[in-house]
Each structure stands twice: as C-alpha cells, then as structure tokens.
Structure 1
Amino acid sequence: MAYMVLGRVVQRVSGLSFQEYTTQRILHPLGMMNACWNCEEARQPIARGYRTTNGVAVAEPLAWMRCEGDAAAFAGLYMSITDLARWIAFMLAAWPPCSQEEQPVLRRSSLREMQQCHVLRHRKAAPVRIDERPPCEAGGYGYGLFVMEATDLGPVVGHAGGLPGFGSHMVWLPDRDVGVAALANVSYAPAAPFAMTLLRRLVKEAQLQPRPVRPATALLKAQAEVSCLLQQWDDALADRVVAENFFLDTPREEWERRVEILRDRHGTLRSEGALRLNNPLRGEWRMQGERGWCNVWVTLTPTVPPRVQYLSIESVLPPNETMQQTLERLLRALAAPTMRCISSLAGPEVDRGALLDHLRLANLLYGPCSIEAIVAGDGVERTVAHLHSPRGRLEAEVVIDPRTGKVQSLELRAMQ
C-alpha cells in the first residue's frame, strides 16, 4: 500500500503516470532499454512463468498479467539480466564518496542514503555445523532495499522479487564493488538463497577483498601532530590540533600530566607502522617506545577544518618474566588441558573445573596455539595476547597475581 501511495505522489507531482516517469527519467537514462511494464512492450522474448504442482511444472496462468495503475509502483517490471546488472552497477557507483561528476538520475549521496538501514530488524543467526562458527547477520530496511551487516561479507544490500510465475533476487557488496542478480521463472522461486550462495562463492573463489579505506588528508596531519604532542607537550600545538570542546572533557593540565607519565614509562616515543583506519576521519596507530609502546586512537570532527574530537592512548608493556612464564603454562594447558595443568596455572580464587572446561573447548576448536603478538596490558598483572593456530586465532586476556604468577582470571575470545 505504501508503494502505491508513493506511485500516486509521483503521478501528481510530475504529471506523468508512474510507468512513464520511471521509464523516461530512470530506466532509459541508465541504459536499461529492455525494461518494460507489460509483455507486449518487450523488445526481447520473455520467459514463460511456471508454478509447481505435485512436483510437476505447469504454466502459470497469471504469469503475464498486465501491470497497470497504482500497482505498478510496487511490482511488475520485466527486464533482462543485463538490465538488472546495470541497476546494480548504478547502486554500487555510490561508493566511495567522491567529487566526480554526478550521475544523471540521482546523486551518489542520495543513493548511499537509500542503502543505509533506517528500520531495524531482529538479529539473525543461521544454524551451522557444531564445529563451524555461525555467520551472524544484522540489519533492516533502507529505502526500498534490505541492508545488513554479515560477519563474512561486511555490508550487504539487496532485495528479492516475486510474482505468480517468477522469482528474483539482486544483492551486492558496496565495500567489494560486486553484485549478483538471479532471475527464475517459477512462482516465488527461492532466488535469494541461490544468489547469496553464489555471492559467497564468488567472494571466496575470486578472493575479493573490501575496498581499502583512504584516510582524509586531515587525519594524516592529525596523526603527525598528535605524535609530536606525545613526544613533547606543546600548548600552542594542542590548540591548533584539538576541537574547541576537547579540554572540557579532560582538562589541559591532566593531558599534560598523562603525557609526562607516558614519557617516563616508555622513554622516547615514535610512530611505527601504518595508520589503521575505521573511516577516513578515524584511525589508530602504534608509537614505539624505548620500553613498550602506546596504541593511539583519534577521531576527527566533521568540520572544516577537521579537528581532534576524541583521543585515547593505551600504554602497553611487554610481559615480565613472571607473566611470560604464566603465558607459557597457558600454552601448555591449551595443547593438553588436564587438571594437573590447571593446578599449576590457576590461583585459589579460580573455579578450576570451569577453567578446565574452557580450555578443553578451546583445545577442541583450535588445538595447540602459539603467541602471535602481545597487544595490550601492563606486562605485570594483565596481558592481552593474540594466539595463532592452524584452525584460527584467539585473543587471550590474562590477569595474574604478580607475586605468585597464578592466574586470577582468563578469558579466551575467538577472533575473525
């Protein structure tokens, strides 16, 4: 009903029927010359529609019903697979945001708005084999499109279609610049699962990676300036770098004190490695010190010019000898979890039965592990390490009693 109302709005505002307006202003400018509203208008042969009765395909008498009036706004458009591919390419052209010449039909910013979730739906997790990690999908409805985030694909946009005699689905990945269209001539054919399976196969076989995020020039500049501040605090530089309300959250004097503590703890700090991006105005990087390192996160304001709105600094020190010995005992317990290993690993406050179950499960899923990297912690009481195994990666957060080296808490987390 809502689409029928929108179709009537188009007719009242434009003075054209919905079909005429769509054909003249959208389909033909996009080169979708074979798209039509009724079969007698088709420039190419149209597939006959069928339905399944007792396992036998029979002609669907309603397959070629005429598409007229307000109903045209929600269903009934005939098109070839090439036309549908042009439509997917039109949607994909909205990314990444850029200053190139706009397309003739709709601004790229409006296309991106169409493909954002505006109405949420309940989280969906598909059942899988017990030895597999279930993919999780969450999202909702945009403007005439379903939008979701999948653990294995990232952002996914698409929509299914179906009428007596036909079923279809179109789906694409904005971050990977690829899409799939499926057309079937059976009533309400399950084209959606077929298209999603094909899309996942395409991503896997072609090893399609998400489009890399490019940092804004302002973010690169902020990285250099914040790095200078952490090496030597300077009020004049800070005033140029941060947003007007930055020091309302944490006073200037407190930031200066924190920088002094970091310098005493780590010695001279210098930027190391590439800037890791969340988006063009948000990223993180590592500053290596003479002792340990700092992980630095910044978010810039969406203003002209952008300024630092959020700054977070995590001090990390490598494990001391006691912590290193505890990590080695943990690796041995992961490789062969027994109550004897647990007794040598855990402190008296730990539920040893629960810890044994935890390590047994990790052993079944991942097998023996090795330390890939230390990523957080003070190295004395707390350490977070990334663990590697042929079956996947884990993150281990370990808290110990620094006097005895016994584990006070342990959490193992699966990594993507």
Structure 2
Amino acid sequence: MARKLILAAVLTAALTSGAPILAQAQPATTAAPAAEWDSVLAGLDQSFAQWAEQAHAPGVVWGVVHQGRLVHVGVYGVRDFDARRPVDADSLFRIASMSKAFTALAVLKLRDEGRLSLDAPAEDYVPELRGLAYPTADSPKIRVRDLLNHTAGFVEDNPWGDRQQVMSEAELTALLRQGVPFAHVPGTRYEYSNLGYALLGRIITNVSGRPYKDYIEAEIMHSLGMASSGYDIFESDNARRAIGYRWENDAHQREPDLIHGTFGAMGGVQTSANDYARWIAFLLSAWPPRDGPETGPVRRSTVREMAQGLNFASPRSRQRPDGTPCPGSSAYGMGLFAIQDCELGAYLAHSGGYPGYGSYMLVVPDRDLGLFAFSSRTYNAPVQPLTEAALTLVRSGLAPVRDEPPTEMLAAAYADAQAVWRAGDILAVEDRLAMNVLLDRSAENWRTMLSGLRDQAGACDLGSAVRPAGRMTGLFTWSCERGVINGRVNLAPTTPVTLQAITLRFTPNTPGS
C-alpha cells in the first residue's frame, strides 16, 4: 500500500543567527546577507524534497556547513512507517561507505603516533595475510597504504561486501586463512575493495589493542563531540533511528537491522546530521595550511593527507551526475575521493550505499564549504541533488574561494614588479634579482621592452593586489588607459629569496569598450 510521506519543517540557520560553531573557523571572505542564503536554501530544499519523493525515500536529511558552522539542515519524510516519527537533525542514519573516512583517519592517527607504517607490509599487523598466494612470483606484498588507496589488488566487491557487515572477527580470520584471490598485482591498479577496509579495521584493532569500534568512537568521534555516533546500532536510542527500507515491487520493504561486525570498518557508522556536521567542519578546518595550535584529535596535515591518491588516475572528461561533461580528474585518496572539477575546483567526496541506506558528502576546502545528505532507502545515494546544491551555492556567490593573503616574500616581489614598471628599468631592483634574470634578457632589452609596453598601455593603475598562486608565485592585473596588463612574479629557490622572473602581457581595449 502506498504510504504518504511527511514533509517535515525545514530547519534553517542563517550565518548571522548564532548557529553553533563546530570547528575553529578560519578567516574567509565576508559572508553574504542572511536573506540571500535563505532565498537560495529555500530553492535547494524544494529540489531535495522533489528528489526524495521521486526516489521513494522514506526519510532524508541534508545539511550545509560553511565557515565552521552548520548553517542549514533540511529534512523530509519519516524515520519509520509504524510510529510515523518525522525525520529531524538528530535522527540516526547509517552512512555506509562514508564510514571509510573514519577508518582511514584512525590508521593515519596510529601512524602519527609511531605505532605503524603505511609502507610496511599489511601482514606485519595482520599475520593471517602471510599465507596469501600472490598472483605472480614478482608481486610485491600488500602495504597498509595499498589498503587505504584501494590498490591492494582485490576485486571490486560492493554487492558481496555490503552483506558482510555481520561477519565476526573469527569468520574474517577463517576467510583469510582460506586464501583471498587477486584481481591485480598489488600496487598496480585501483579497484574499490570493502574487504580492504575491513582489513584496516583489523589493523586498528591489533595495533591499538582495542576493538576498532572503541578506538574510533573514543579517539575521533567523541573527541569531536559526536556523542550520538557509533557502530553498534543496538546501543543507540531506537526512537531516534531512521529505519532502513528498500523499494521493491512498488512498495517499501523493511531491511533487516545488521548487527555490528568486522566489516563495520568499511560501512557501519550510524550518525545524525548534527553530529556529522561536526565531522565535516573538522575536515574543512584542516585547510589552509597555517601556523597556530592544533585543535582537533588528529593534526591538520594528516587530515589533508587523506586527499593524496594512489590509483594512477589521469585527467579525463568527467561527467557530473546529470550527464553534463566536466573536464577534470579524480583519484581515491584515503577514505575520500579527491576530485578536480571544472567549476567547483578541488573537492573531496564519498558516497555510501547499504541495505536500507544511501548517502553522499562533499567538501570544497578552498570555499570552506561542505554538504552531506542521508537517505533511508537501499542504495539511494543522493549524489545528484547534493552536487547540484553545491553548484548552486557556488554559482550564487554564497561560497566564494577563500581569500589567501600573500606571503611577505611574495608581497615584496610584487612591490619589485611595481618598482620596475614605474622606473622602466629592471635595474631598479638589481640587488633582489636572481642570477638568471639578466642572462635571460639584458638590462638594455628590459628597458626596450618596458618602454614599448608603457607606450602601448598608457597610464596604469598599479593599486590592485597580487593574487597568490602559491607561496612564491603571484598573479596581478593592472587596468591601464588603453588596455590591461596581466602579470606574474616568480621567486627563486634561494636564500635569501630572489626574484627569478617578471612576466608582463598587454591586452588592448576592444573598440567601443
């Protein structure tokens, strides 16, 4: 029998409303007025509600994190059809493979503590792996790093792996002792493996001396204030749980509740929107690299390491979920996909699919923006609406690229470029030039080039700021009487720092401009 879903009230917290700070926010561009956020978010809520209804999702929750705050939560439907309790920001959903990021970070934390090495053979920490029959005589052994990056050589195992949640530690040991076949030589190719992340859970257990569940909950989740998150759903408040369903034969069928087991390391986390927003804010707080004290359970540089891929990906024409071509590239890092998008720029993402659940998250570090969504229908990952929501926020100007101030040495290099232009002579900063500059172009030819550009451009306004393209490279634009000067300064790898290049290009105004 068809069941009418309830559209619950949308919970909106504008940037200026005093929403709780979830992580130490970093300086960013001035926030847009609350009214602008409200208008855009109302449209996103409508889109999500339409998607949820069309996807036959019993319950959905989605959230937006910006500048360290949970600025918006939207909800749809019910937690369960029997009691018909509506979904809210504290409803508990299983997030499936989005759990892998917690496992990966726990492994990296143990590495930071000197308790394991990513480049050591995994069999050093899981002795049962010593009996594996590798595919060739010259196969390298599986490293811990290979498990993190899905390059261990195991076959893609989503249909099988998703049903192994209940596997006990003894059963995993027996599976390994029977032998695991290889799809590829380790370290030569990416192929997604849930078994690989189950093995990482075993590594966490063996190295930490605690079940991986206890280690991750205590050392990461609870440290971030994620008090309602964990792996064993039977330890949680049943009234808060979003019950998982499948859509089959034009009706919702309840999925069985899967008990906690060894494969929970690949997909067993249960969390709420309010809790998960703390995780998103923590990930974003790792950018940009900076001085200052560490405030999280794992250091910032380690979080950024999760974006390092090892799957031999190369740039290619990607397609967005709606089929739109988007040149870019992707690689699997450590628990997160690292993606370069033609519009969003660099972002990290992961989906989750599981009996009774589907989920998706993405974070755009340069924009201090994160989004996530959970659904209580089998394999119903809301990839398309969440990606469209991120694009809408970017296109609306509500999540601009974070301003990056130039380093002192880059600001000095830009001042040198301005001095050279004003003087019409490269020797105006002779004492700061790298040894290559006057070998690449003589001082006389510099004067000739600068004179020609000044005649073409006319008077120029040199007051614009330099735009960092790194700590030692900067771009700038000068508006001139008859066109525009686009420039670049590069510093040399010397101490003291010297100027290795100034590049200037004039573009004349078009007629009538």
Band the TM-score falls in, shorter-chain normalisation:
0.5 to 0.7
Distance 1:301 1:114, change over 3 A: farther
Distance 1:238 1:17, change over 3 A: farther
Q: Is the 8 A contact 2:367 2:400 kept in 1?
A: yes
1:284 alignment partner, SS class: strand
- Distance in structure 2 (CA, Å) of the matches to 1:317 and 1:109: 41
| Alignment RMSD (CA, Å) | 3.1
2:270 alignment partner, SS class: coil
- Residue 256 (str. 1) matches residue 447 (str. 2): no
- Distance in structure 2 (CA, Å) of the matches to 1:229 and 1:146: 45
Q: Is the 8 A contact 1:229 1:238 kept in 2?
A: no
Q: Is the 8 A contact 1:127 1:134 kept in 2?
A: no
Q: Deviations over 1:15-66 (max 9, x none)?
A: 22211211111111111111111111114621111111122110112xx212
Distance 1:281 1:118, change over 3 A: farther
- Name 1:221's counterpart in structure 2: 412
- Distance in structure 1 (CA, Å) of the matches to 2:246 and 2:300: 39
> Which one of 164, 168, 176 corresponds to residue 359 of structure 2?
168
Q: Is the 8 A contact 2:353 2:381 kept in 1?
A: no
> Which one of 338, 350, 359 corresponds to residue 159 of structure 1?
350
Report the structure, 1 or 2, having the larger strand content: 1
Gaps of 5+ in 1: 320-326, 329-370, 373-416
1:183 alignment partner, SS class: strand
Distance 1:317 1:208, change over 3 A: closer
> Which one of 237, 242, 252 corresponds to residue 47 of structure 1?
242
Distance 1:171 1:318, change over 3 A: closer
Tell me the CA shift for residue 142 of structure 1: 1.8
- Distance in structure 2 (CA, Å) of the matches to 1:94 and 1:241: 35
Count of aligned pairs: 311
Distance 1:271 1:205, change over 3 A: closer
- Distance in structure 2 (CA, Å) of the matches to 1:97 and 1:201: 27
1:23 alignment partner, SS class: helix
- Residue 18 (str. 1) matches residue 212 (str. 2): yes
Letter paired with 1:114: M
Tell me the CA shift for residue 199 of structure 1: 2.4
> Which one of 255, 259, 262 corresponds to residue 66 of structure 1?
259
1:28 alignment partner, SS class: helix
Q: Is the 8 A contact 2:477 2:487 kept in 1?
A: yes
Q: Is the 8 A contact 1:271 1:285 kept in 2?
A: no
Letter paired with 2:246: R
Q: TM-score, normalised by structure 2?
A: 0.54
Q: TM-score, normalised by structure 1?
A: 0.66
Tell me the CA shift for residue 173 of structure 1: 1.6
Tell me the CA shift for residue 260 of structure 1: 1.6
- Name 1:364's counterpart in structure 2: none
Distance 1:236 1:257, change over 3 A: closer
Q: Deviations over 1:234-292 (max 9, x none)?
A: 669434343xxx51xx6537241331212432369876241342334322234678987
Q: Is the 8 A contact 1:270 1:289 kept in 2?
A: yes
- Residue 2 (str. 1) matches residue 196 (str. 2): yes
Distance 1:302 1:74, change over 3 A: farther
1:233-312 to 2 correspondences below 5 Å: 233=425, 237-242=429-434, 246-247=435-436, 251-252=438-439, 254-265=441-452, 266=454, 272-277=462-467, 278-286=469-477, 294-301=485-492, 306-312=497-503
Between the two structures, name the one with larger relative contact order (CA 8 Å, sep ≥ 6): 2
- Distance in structure 2 (CA, Å) of the matches to 1:232 and 1:205: 42
- Distance in structure 1 (CA, Å) of the matches to 2:402 and 2:443: 38
- Residue 81 (str. 1) matches residue 273 (str. 2): yes
Gaps of 5+ in 2: 1-194
- Distance in structure 2 (CA, Å) of the matches to 1:176 and 1:272: 28
